[in-house]
Chains A and B, each alone.
Chain A
Amino acid sequence: MADTPEAIKKSVRTYLFVGAILFIGTITTVLVATVPALDVGAHGFDKWDCILGLSIATIKASLVAFIFMHLNHEKKAVYWLFASGLCMVCSLAGLTALALGDPIFDKFFYSGH
């Protein structure tokens, strides 16, 4: 953790730089979603737009977590806490994915036959 005045002054430049990357990342996300020439995959929204959009968002979120929230140099306890939260979320998302195999998603059930 940047605790000495010199280290803090130095990290201020990093914060500004990260802020600029976050702005650029946001603009990129909007451009690839709205400008047809920058559209990836098929015309309009498809899985490639989803992957690209979420990848940019993940990079941005990681920058916020690692730089602004100082996760790049934290104590072990913090990593354990945060990682356990993330693991729970991943399990939850996994369980949701399992639910997609549920017969209620079968056409037979929702098409009124």
Chain B
Amino acid sequence: MEIPYVVTPRKDTGLFNSKIAIWLFLASEVMLFGGFFSAYVFLRLGADFPWPERTLPVLPGLINTFVLIGSSVTVVFAWASLKLRDWRKFQIFMGITVFCALIFMVLKGVEYNVKLHHQALRLKDYSVIEGHLGYETEDDKPVLDHKGNKIEENLINVETSKLTFNTVRFHKPWVEELLTQAEHRHSKIVLTADVSAITREGQAAEVIAKAGEPLSIELLNRIQKTHLAARSHNGVIRTAALRDEWKKAKAANPDKRGWQIADGVNIDMAVVTPQLLSEISTVAFTVDPSAHFDFHPRDIKPAATQSRLRDDTVIDGKLLDSPMVFHHVDAIDFQHLAMKAEEKGIDPEVAIENSWLIKNSPFAKQAWEWHQGEVAKLKAQLLKDYGADKDGKAIRFPTHKELYRIGWKDFAEKAEDEGRAKLAPADAFKEEFFGPNYEARGDETFPGFSVPREQVGFESKFTPAWNPYYAIYFTITGLHGLHVIGGALVLAYYLFFGRKMYLSNPEWLANRVEIGGLFWHFVDLVWIFVFPILYLM
């Protein structure tokens, strides 16, 4: 069957059908991205934290903009080549377009990777430290967990003696993790006491698991099954009993409304209890001998003697020192602290001088003093360049970010001021993409630092969890990235599988390329807004 109007235009619209379809689709895309840009404005204007202004590396964003603009030109050339029936040129231009899409995604991948491995920490007083965490080592070799991942030094350590699982909510991967850790520490997790239960109505309790039985998923599942069966059975019994009581109360008080008799309707538990089965909502295990277990901070609510996991597992044991160990600190940011101080009418400088970081880290103190010198120089420069108003106040003054943030470039500049060697231009260029080069610049430039757990306010990698800026950044750029991949796949399909159609019906292929090209231009058009909004504002 021939598809109508793929080459020739329809009389009523004056367009071939696929063109109407792509424009309908693009109109919906305009609304989709428009919605996210609105969300961005909403989040930014409503932010109760210092919005990370001009925080992304400009160079990769700029290169990606050039790449997309270039590919927009080449895709339109590819279409023109088809119209002029020049297959060879079409191949060249479409090849360049697809290659540009590849470069774009590689650069985006690098950018994401840097973010997802970069740690941020907000202390309780709202100072922020950024950098890279250390990894546990033994004989200079990183310690690996059972999945072969390096164990990051950002874990909560508990000297565990007892674990009590919620038989319904226990999270299987965490139980497996506990078993692995116990094996690693030469310890055993065994059932503390016999678990006995009435599993049939009117019969005596029977032991379903014996004390000393080792922890396993199978054992927890078995207990869970008994528990759920009992709950279901007991529910039916209780409901039936309550219904009977309700009927009796209604019969005894025919002229009263339901709510007036509700208080007096209660089940006689002495009658019901013999019919009930045993519910086992928790089950306790002993860790023998007690062992040091690590937990991810996001999974645990730590407490001095009894901590709790998110799946309601109770951990009995002493909470050990669990510092967050930064092997390299690459930024110290007092913007949030200064903002909080200003809200309370406190001088931000005084608040910073009294911050935990300045009092406990000689490096932070020294960096802050150096930074204040730089700010003074900047203020003098702005006054010199732009002058003062008639009240003698400088017309231009440093931004909040310049005043209160010491970024990795500042650390590098400080090190150079102190006489440490500059990086070779090639290495410095690489830093624009991959972030600070700790090996080349050394530990003096980006020193290590250990933060006691009690000072940790909130910590995260630079993921959507860190703040709404990163949430909207990943949403918009991620969605745009998916469009780049989708568009590139369609264009690559025309490039690699279009020859047959070119020979049989070149105009149809030209129309298809025009449709693919329209989508590709739209992807470029969105990026034209994404780049200044997310990278430069």
Contact = CB atoms under 8 A, between A and B. Distances in A.
A77 B72 contact: no
Nearest to A68: B521
A85 B35 CA distance: 11
A34 B76 CA distance: 32
A53 B536 contact: yes
B77 interface: yes
A23 B20 contact: no
Contacts of A19: 69-70, 72-73
A105 B522 CA distance: 34
Interface stretch (B163-171, B196-204, B316-324, B394-402): B394-402
B62 A26 contact: yes
A112 to B, nearest CB: 10
A29 B532 contact: yes
Interface residues of A, number: 54
Contact of A77 (B14, B65, B80, B398): B14
Contacts of A68: 72-73, 76, 517, 521, 524
Interface string A58-88: 0011001100110000011110011011101
B77 A15 contact: yes
B381 to A, nearest CB: 9
B529 A89 contact: no
Given A43-B382, A81-B23, A85-B31, A93 B66 contact: no
Contacts of A53: 532-533, 536-537
Given A26-B65, A81-B23, A100-B45, A57 B73 contact: no
A74 B106 CA distance: 35
Contact of B31 (A75, A92, A99, A104): A92
B142 interface: no
A70 B401 CA distance: 43
Contacts of B73: 15-16, 18-19, 68
Interface in B46-88: 46, 48, 53-54, 58, 62, 65-66, 69-70, 72-73, 76-77, 80, 83-84
Contacts of B418: none
Contact of A81 (B24, B77, B397): B24
B532 A22 contact: no
A44 B401 contact: yes
Contact of A111 (B70, B343, B528): B343
A22 B69 contact: yes
Interface string B498-537: 0000000000000000000110011011001101110011
A3 B83 contact: yes
B343 A50 contact: no
B31 A89 contact: yes
A99 B41 CA distance: 11
B16 to A, nearest CB: 10
**Chain B, interface residues (CB within 8 Å), range:** 35 or more
B467 interface: no
B260 interface: no
B23 A82 contact: yes
A69 B518 contact: yes
A92 B39 CA distance: 10
A80 to B, nearest CB: 9
A54 to B, nearest CB: 7
A20 B386 CA distance: 34
A88 B31 contact: yes
Choose among A11, A64, A65 the residue with the greatest number of B CB atoms under 10 Å from its CB. A64
Contact of B536 (A33, A78, A99, A110): A33
B210 to A, nearest CB: 53
B537 A45 contact: yes
A75 B19 CA distance: 11
B92 interface: no
B38 A57 contact: no
A13 to B, nearest CB: 11
A8 B80 contact: yes
A44 B77 contact: no
B15 A78 contact: yes
B180 interface: no
B26 interface: yes
A15 B76 contact: yes
A50 B286 CA distance: 62
Contact of B53 (A5, A45, A56, A104): A45
A12 interface: yes
A44 B30 contact: no
Given A75-B15, A85-B29, A105-B45, 8 more contacts: A15-B73, A43-B386, A44-B398, A81-B20, A85-B28, A96-B41, A100-B42, A105-B46
Interface of B: 13-15, 19-20, 23-24, 26-31, 34-35, 37-39, 41-42, 45-46, 48, 53-54, 58, 62, 65-66, 69-70, 72-73, 76-77, 80, 83-84, 343, 382, 386, 396-399, 401-402, 517-518, 521-522, 524-525, 528-529, 531-533, 536-537
11 contacts: A19-B72, A33-B58, A54-B533, A65-B525, A75-B15, A77-B20, A78-B23, A89-B38, A96-B38, A100-B46, A104-B46
